[in-house]
Amino acid sequence: MTATAVTRLRENVERLCVAGEQANPKTARVTDPLAEALSAVRAAAQAVVSGRYGNAPAKDVRGTRPYKLWAQLLDAVQGEGGGSLLRALQDKGYVKRRGG
């Protein structure tokens, strides 16, 4: 199962409504989205190194799924929009803005 699939599955499971007794908050697993993202990126890098995606084609590499996912990942991490991780960390003071 890919890291992306695991992340999507985890997100969907977290949205489920559970009937009956709920887990005790003291015993419920606490997750850290930043740590999970780091693990997912490392797993993705290992998948590429291991040959999961093969080699890029000689032409139209930007049309491949791995390239499109990379572009989305790059935008999510350091995109100029307000929804990127970099911008969120900057807004909360964890990361300094360049030139200021």
**Residue 98 is assigned to a structural domain of this protein:** yes
Q: What angle do CA 13, 14, 15 make, to 5 degrees?
A: 90
Q: pTM (2 decimals)?
A: 0.65
Q: What is the pLDDT of residues 43-87, one digit of tens each?
A: 999 999 999 999 999 999 999 999 999 999 999 999 987 899 999
Quote the number of domains for the chain: 1
Residue 17 has pLDDT above 70, yes or no: no
Report CA-CA distances (Å) from 32 to 21, 22, 68, 86.
24, 21, 26, 17
Contact residues for 93 (Cβ-Cβ < 8 A; gap 6+): none
**Residue 69 is assigned to a structural domain of this protein:** yes
Contact residues for 91 (Cβ-Cβ < 8 A; gap 6+): none
Q: At what angle do helices 3-15 and 33-49 cross, to 10 degrees?
A: 150
Domain residue limits at 82: 61-100
Residue ranges of the alpha helices (H) in 23-64? 33-49
**Residue 65 is assigned to a structural domain of this protein:** yes
Q: Band of the pLDDT at 4, cuts 50, 70, 90? A: confident
**Residue 11 is assigned to a structural domain of this protein:** no
